[in-house]
Structures are given as structure tokens and as C-alpha cells.
């Protein structure tokens, strides 16, 4: 693989499993120096071993400002400025209107929207001019699934962050793009199913709606993120890049 990100410093939140890990692996293999953040130390340690290339893991919860501050303190302690910031941490659960709880609403917006905002805002002093910010969105910004309205609303907010932030950051020539994965075979998606039979039904139902007829591998999402992070995307700014097998295009 061409090392298009050689000598670049990248920070990936939610980088221990699933899409975040796939992104981190691709950035590292393209030459970036990686800092990844995750909540669970055991998973974080495993991810660091999987990524290799001298990746640094920082344990913390992005919904906690003190943990975000500690993440960036570690980056500073390594004498690094950030070239690539991937605000990836997120999640959600199925709750139809009429059964949405205040707790789940607050949890999902807190993780997907509030934490994304402050992950980026707190990084600004460390971001190089000309840096690339990548936000993890979803096809649910434009397509709907039953009982997933709260999650979809948070991802629509993420997409609009990118639109506004390219104006706020234009004087620093910082690019902000959203990557919108389709259904991807991740522990988080599998966790939405109660058992193997339910997962098989969910996977089959999702795959049937995708023109390519299958779910994505996390590394496929990572390859798209590596493109947005690189100079090959130097004139790509404010977009929502769908990596979804065609799902959102039909």
C-alpha cells in the first residue's frame, strides 16, 4: 500500500472495534501515527496490538470532558500536532416513537452529537492548518429504518456539523467531511440482535436492500476514510461520502 499519510498524526475516537478499528488500521497502514481512544481498557489494548505501527491507546469516554482533555494531553505529551481527526465514537438502539425513553434520547444525543462537537472543538488548538476532520455519519441521515428515529436524527446533525464547520474553519483551510457507512458487519450492529437467529434475520434483511447484496467490512469504510484524510482529497470539503454498497442511492 502506498503510504500516503506518512508523517501525519491521526486521532481516532471509538477506535477499538468495528468501523473505528477499521479506520485506524487503514490510516496506520497508510503511514499515519495513530492515537486511538476507547472506553474499555482490554479492548483498547487488543486494538493497539492489532493496529501495530506504534499506535498509542488512550482509555476514556468521549462523553466526559475530562477524558477528552486527557486524550489531547497525551497527544501533546508526545509532541504531536494533529493532521487527521476522526470523530467516530457513536451508537444507538432501536426504540419506536411511543416507546422512546428520555434516558435513551439523552444517551444517544450525548454520545453522537454532543461528544462529536466537543471532540472537534477541544482538538482545535492542536490541529494543524490544512488538517482533515472526518465525522462518522450514517445512511440514516437520508434513509429510514423502523424504530431508529433518534439515531437517524443524530446522524443528520453530524452531517450538518460538517456543512457549518467548513465555514467556521475556512481561514485555517481545515477540511471537514462526513463519511456515511451503510450496514457494516460490526460488533455494534450485531449487538442490536438478541441472538444468532435474530442477527441472521437482521443481516439478511439489510443485505437484501443493498445493491451489492452484502454488508460492508469495516476495512472498506477505513479505505474511504484514508482517502478523505489524504492529499488525494485536498479539494473535497463538506461532503457526505456514502460508503454503503448503493443503499442510499436507490
Residues 35, 72, 148, 151: which is the catalytic one?
151
Q: Is 151 a catalytic residue?
A: yes
Residue 188's pLDDT is 85
List, as one string, the DSSP characters of 21-32: HHHHHHHHHTTP
Between CA 178 and CA 41 the distance in angstroms is 28
Which domains does the chain show, CATH number per domain?
9-181+220-242 (3.40.50.720), 187-215 (no CATH)
For 235, the grid coordinates are: 479539494
Q: For cell 465514537, name the residue.
A: 89
For 211-250, write each residue's pLDDT tens digit.
999 999 999 999 999 999 999 999 999 999 999 999 999 9
Full-model pTM = 0.95
For 48-86, write each residue's pLDDT tens digit.
999 999 999 999 999 999 999 999 999 999 998 999 999
For 108-162, write each residue's pLDDT tens digit.
999 999 999 999 999 999 999 999 999 999 999 999 989 999 999 999 999 999 9
Amino acid at each position: 500500500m502506498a503510504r500516503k499519510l506518512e508523517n501525519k498524526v491521526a486521532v481516532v475516537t471509538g477506535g477499538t472495534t468495528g468501523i473505528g478499528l477499521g479506520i485506524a488500521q487503514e490510516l496506520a497502514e497508510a503511514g499515519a501515527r495513530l492515537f486511538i481512544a476507547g472506553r474499555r481498557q482490554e479492548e483498547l489494548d487488543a486494538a493497539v496490538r492489532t493496529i501495530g505501527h506504534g499506535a498509542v491507546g488512550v482509555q476514556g469516554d468521549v462523553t466526559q470532558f475530562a477524558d477528552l482533555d486527557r486524550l489531547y494531553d497525551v497527544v501533546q505529551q508526545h509532541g504531536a500536532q494533529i493532521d487527521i481527526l476522526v470523530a467516530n465514537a457513536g451508537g444507538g438502539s432501536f426504540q419506536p416513537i411511543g416507546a422512546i425513553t428520555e434516558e435513551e434520547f439523552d444517551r444517544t444525543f450525548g454520545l453522537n452529537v454532543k461528544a462529536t462537537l466537543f471532540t472537534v472543538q477541544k482538538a482545535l488548538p492542536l490541529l494543524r492548518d490544512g488538517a482533515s476532520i472526518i465525522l462518522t455519519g450514517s445512511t440514516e441521515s437520508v434513509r429510514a429504518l423502523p424504530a431508529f428515529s433518534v439515531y437517524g436524527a443524530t446522524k443528520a446533525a453530524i452531517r450538518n456539523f460538517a456543512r457549518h464547520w467548513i465555514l467556521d474553519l475556512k481561514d485555517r483551510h481545515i477540511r471537514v467531511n462526513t463519511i456515511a457507512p451503510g450496514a457494516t458487519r460490526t460488533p455494534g450492529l450485531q449487538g442490536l440482535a438478541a441472538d444468532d437467529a435474530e442477527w441472521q434475520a437482521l443481516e439478511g434483511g439489510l443485505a437484501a436492500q443493498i445493491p451489492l447484496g452484502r454488508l460492508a467490512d469495516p476495512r472498506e469504510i477505513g479505505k474511504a476514510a484514508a482517502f478523505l484524510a489524504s492529499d488525494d482529497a485536498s479539494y473535497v470539503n463538506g461532503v457526505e461520502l456514502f460508503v454503503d454498497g448503493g443503499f442510499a442511492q436507490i
